Amino acid sequence: MQDRLENFKRTVRANRSYRRFFEDVRVSDETLTDLLELARTTASGQNNQVTRFALVSEPDRCQDLFKLLRWAGALKDWDGPEAGERPSAYIVLVSPKKVNAAWDEGIIAQTILLGASEIGLGGCMLGSIDRLEICNTLKLDPETQWPKLVIALGKPKEEVVIEDVRQDQNLKYYRDEKQVHHVPKIVLEDLIIR
């Protein structure tokens, strides 16, 4: 039992936000639909299942979408991955503009990324996105298919490590001189209210 939990812990820890990829390793629509099949059965508030998915894997469309995403706000001297290191595919989560489905979207996105990590892929959730332009580019109806979250996917080309910190320490992620990405996470002791 403990072994299985340890294995799952490794899976969860390996599932980091990756922002640089081997862009030439393409992700097929079939892989994207396999990942969606995982997400399809996750929990949903009132089981309303309002989220729909736009799949983007063709290189030209990836390039168009890439321009509408903002990467790693905390890395001030980095504008996002350069050509050759960009994601190979995206899943755009859409739902009616007036509906708040953020909890569903988080569960869906985490499930997709966990699945991706199981097959040697990785990615990043992006909420800092140009929603109206995404509608125009992907020909989505802004009222009923408003982009809420984008999941970028690809074969990760960077090392990301977790750093245990206390809750009063700096929580900003950073890159070291070897370009290793460090993600501070608060230790359990400071998270549990006693």
Ligand X SMILES: Cc1cc2nc3c(=O)[nH]c(=O)nc-3n(C[C@H](O)[C@H](O)[C@H](O)COP(=O)(O)O)c2cc1C
Check binding of 35 to ligand X (CB under 6 A): no
Check binding of 91 to ligand X (CB under 6 A): no
* Between 49 and 78, CB nearer to ligand X: 78
Instruction: Quote the CA–CA distance of 168 and 174 in Å, as a whole number.
Output: 17
Contact with ligand X (CB under 6 A) among 33, 70, 132, 189: 70
E-only strand ranges, the chain: 52-56, 89-95, 122-126, 146-154, 160-165, 174-175, 181-186
Check binding of 96 to ligand X (CB under 6 A): no
Contact with ligand X (CB under 6 A) among 126, 134, 138, 153: 126
Q: Give the number of residues in contact with ligand X, rule: CB under 6 A.
A: 14
* Between 28 and 63, CB nearer to ligand X: 63
Check binding of 13 to ligand X (CB under 6 A): no
| Amino acid of residue 178 | K
* Between 81 and 135, CB nearer to ligand X: 81
List the structure tokens of 56.
């983007």
Check binding of 57 to ligand X (CB under 6 A): no
Instruction: Quote the CA–CA distance of 65 and 100 in Å, as a whole number.
Output: 23
Check binding of 90 to ligand X (CB under 6 A): no
DSSP string, 84-133: TSS-SEEEEEEE-TT---HHHHHHHHHHHHHHHHHTT-EEEEE-SB-HHH
- Taking the complex as a whole, the smallest distance from the CB of residue 127 to ligand X amounts, in Å, to 3
Which DSSP category does 186 fall into? E
Residues that bind ligand X (CB under 6 A): 16-17, 19, 70-72, 124-128, 160, 173, 183
